[in-house]
């Protein structure tokens, strides 16, 4: 079924995100005929460029991210939907003419007054724009809904996040606010609940009694690219752990929600985030590994003696009876050997190990949820090696989703944009999730980041600093993805 009429208004239309991810997502949605006939896109940026130049930029962005050329027929019908408007975000007086322009588009496309504002700008503009929209009465209008998608980073620590939330919540109601975490739109992450709760074989084993440890890994090949300025003041913990990795953790460990309503799900997720236990500083130092790739300091707009971490590995626990003593190892970094994201559940080795009964030396069962680039699930089991009498070998049952669907699997932003147009909050973060995540991250950061004695340098294209390996070796464990 077709979606609701809407005008998507992107602030930050010439930025990295719009070019690299949003435009390709929008193009796919449009091509897949998932938008209403009454749909258009208005991009707003500070740059004074012509509509045609803007369109060319977007076309190039789409072709780069999809890695193929767009057929001119497809492009022609899509480009009719794209508009560009240049604006200084902080010039309140200019919003009057913006409103006029928007109304014209609304008339032309008959979008019924439904507006999805997308703040894809640097965070200092979030409240500036929201306030100006309010000033010009662009939010509480009689017809249509007015929603807002807020890109990351939602604050840079607990205090700034709270301030930002306070300001925004005075302007947009929670029901109209969509805090985006694009990992929640990824196929296999959407799949987590089904894997856990629609199968009888996992949930009974899903606790400290049977799980030895959980590994959450997001490694990237890319460096900081053109985002040096933002990244250098952020670092891997704020950029990746505060949001994406803690969201993964929540989905892996939350209790079964009462139903699939967004509120039921988010209620369970927030409990997990709240229960991440904060260790004292000395313990924390032992549980955190920070790294910086060689050459990072020479990246564009990065401080030449920067102590920002581009890699982090962490060991954390949950204050929850069910997860008592189970370590969660989180790892993420830039300029690593390969692009990869996945969740690894290592089950406790077969009980015979302790009592040395039948098969003492077997590999533990591993459930591996592959998020990207490959999407799929694998489960490793022990089996008798054929033609031997008692040799045991590790075998794997594989479900490769992306092998079946090829590259047709929709991108995260496609899903999330459509969700916001539908008004579905399930895959967006509620304020308290963000708040508790920051509480934990603040503790982590105050412990020891930006300390040059702790940050280990690592080679580009490597597995990251040695410390990450040692973190697990000390516990007699290993990363299952190297």
Which single residue brings its beta carbon nearest to ligand BG6? 239
Query: Has 14 been labeled as part of a binding site?
Result: yes
Sheet holding 456-458, edge to edge: 392-400, 376-384, 366-372, 340-347, 211-219, 328-333, 311-316, 288-293, 456-458
Q: Percent helix, strand and coil across the chain, each rounded to 5?
A: 45, 20, 35
In the complex, minimum distance from the CB of residue 415 to ligand BG6, in angstroms, rounded to a whole number: 12
Single out the catalytic residue among 210, 244, 320, 425: 244
Which element (helix H / strand E) includes 107?
helix 95-109
Q: 380 or 449: whose CB is closer to ligand BG6?
A: 449
**Residue 176 vs residues 33, 116, 201, 282: alpha-carbon distances, Å:** 25, 9, 38, 42
- Specify which residues 368 forms β-bridges with: 344, 378
Distance in angstroms (rounded) separating the CA atoms of residues 298 and 305: 9
In the complex, minimum distance from the CB of residue 412 to ligand BG6, in angstroms, rounded to a whole number: 6
Distance in angstroms (rounded) separating the CA atoms of residues 241 and 218: 10
Indicate the SS3 state at residue 305: coil
Query: Has 197 been labeled as part of a binding site?
Result: no
- Interface positions with ligand BG6 (CB under 6 A): 152, 182, 220, 239, 341
287 catalytic per annotation: no
- Residue 298 has φ and ψ, to the nearest 5°, of -95, 0
Query: Has 220 been labeled as part of a binding site?
Result: yes
Q: Are 326 and 344 in contact (CB under 8 A)?
A: no
In the complex, minimum distance from the CB of residue 428 to ligand BG6, in angstroms, rounded to a whole number: 14
**Structure tokens that stand for 473 in this block:** 């070796």
Q: 152 or 274: whose CB is closer to ligand BG6?
A: 152
328-340 CB burial, b ≥16 within 10 A, e <16: bbbbbbbbbeeeb
Query: Has 15 been labeled as part of a binding site?
Result: yes
In the complex, minimum distance from the CB of residue 206 to ligand BG6, in angstroms, rounded to a whole number: 26
In the complex, minimum distance from the CB of residue 223 to ligand BG6, in angstroms, rounded to a whole number: 10
Cβ atoms within 10 Å of 124's Cβ, excluding its own: 10
**Residue 284 vs residues 82, 280, 291: alpha-carbon distances, Å:** 49, 6, 16
Q: Are 30 and 2 in contact (CB under 8 A)?
A: no
Q: 136 or 239: whose CB is closer to ligand BG6?
A: 239
Q: 133 or 246: whose CB is closer to ligand BG6?
A: 246
Cβ atoms within 10 Å of 206's Cβ, excluding its own: 20
Query: Has 19 been labeled as part of a binding site?
Result: yes
**Structure tokens that stand for 408 in this block:** 């047709």
Q: 315 or 335: whose CB is closer to ligand BG6?
A: 335
Query: Has 89 been labeled as part of a binding site?
Result: yes
Q: 42 or 150: whose CB is closer to ligand BG6?
A: 150
In the complex, minimum distance from the CB of residue 340 to ligand BG6, in angstroms, rounded to a whole number: 9
Residues at the annotated binding site?
12-19, 46, 88-89, 152, 182, 186, 220, 239, 334, 339
Active site residues: 244
- Known binding residues for NADP(+) are 12-19, 46, 88-89, 152
């Amino acid at each position: 079924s077709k979606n609701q009429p809407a005008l998507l208004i992107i602030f930050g239309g010439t930025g990295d995100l719009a070019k690299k991810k949003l435009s390709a997502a929008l193009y796919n949605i449009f091509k897949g005929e998932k938008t209403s006939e009454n749909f258009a896109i208005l991009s707003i940026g500070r740059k004074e460029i012509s509509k045609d130049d803007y369109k060319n930029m977007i076309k190039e962005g789409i072709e780069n991210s999809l890695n193929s050329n767009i057929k001119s027929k497809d492009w022609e019908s899509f480009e009719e939907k794209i508009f560009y408007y240049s604006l200084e975000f902080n010039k309140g007086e200019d919003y009057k003419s913006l409103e006029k322009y928007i109304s014209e588009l609304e008339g032309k496309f008959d979008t019924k007054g439904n507006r999805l504002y997308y703040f894809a700008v640097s965070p200092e503009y979030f409240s500036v724009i929201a306030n100006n929209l309010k000033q010009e009465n662009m939010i509480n209008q009689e017809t249509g809904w007015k929603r807002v998608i807020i890109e990351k980073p939602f604050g840079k620590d607990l205090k700034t996040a709270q301030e930002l939330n306070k300001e925004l919540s005075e302007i947009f109601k929670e029901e109209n606010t969509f805090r985006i975490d694009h990992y929640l739109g990824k196929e296999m992450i959407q799949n987590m609940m089904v894997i856990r709760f629609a199968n009888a074989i996992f949930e009974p084993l899903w606790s400290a009694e049977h799980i030895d440890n959980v590994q959450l890994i997001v490694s990237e090949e890319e460096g900081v690219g053109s985002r040096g300025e933002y990244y250098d003041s952020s670092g891997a913990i704020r950029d990746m752990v505060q949001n994406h990795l803690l969201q993964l953790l929540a989905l892996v460990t939350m209790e079964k929600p009462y139903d699939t309503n967004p509120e039921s799900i988010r209620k369970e997720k927030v409990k997990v985030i709240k229960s991440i236990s904060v260790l004292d500083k000395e313990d924390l130092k032992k549980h955190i590994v920070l790294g910086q790739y060689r050459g990072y300091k020479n990246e564009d707009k990065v401080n030449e003696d920067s102590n920002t971490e581009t890699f982090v590995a962490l060991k954390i626990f949950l204050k929850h009876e069910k997860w008592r003593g189970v370590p969660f190892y989180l790892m993420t970094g830039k300029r690593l050997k390969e692009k990869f994201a996945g969740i690894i559940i290592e089950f406790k080795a077969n009980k015979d190990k302790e009592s040395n009964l039948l098969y003492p030396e077997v590999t533990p069962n591993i459930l591996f949820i592959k998020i990207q680039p490959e999407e799929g699930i694998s489960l490793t089991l022990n089996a008798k090696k054929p033609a031997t009498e008692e040799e045991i070998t590790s075998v794997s049952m594989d479900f490769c989703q992306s092998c079946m669907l090829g590259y047709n699997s929709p991108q995260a932003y496609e899903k999330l944009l459509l969700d916001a147009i539908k008004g579905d909050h399930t895959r967006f973060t509620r304020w308290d999730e963000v708040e508790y995540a920051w509480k934990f991250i603040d503790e982590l950061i105050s412990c020891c980041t930006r300390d040059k004695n702790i940050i280990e340098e690592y080679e580009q294209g490597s597995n990251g600093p040695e410390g990450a390996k040692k973190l697990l070796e000390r516990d007699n464990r290993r990363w299952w993805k190297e």
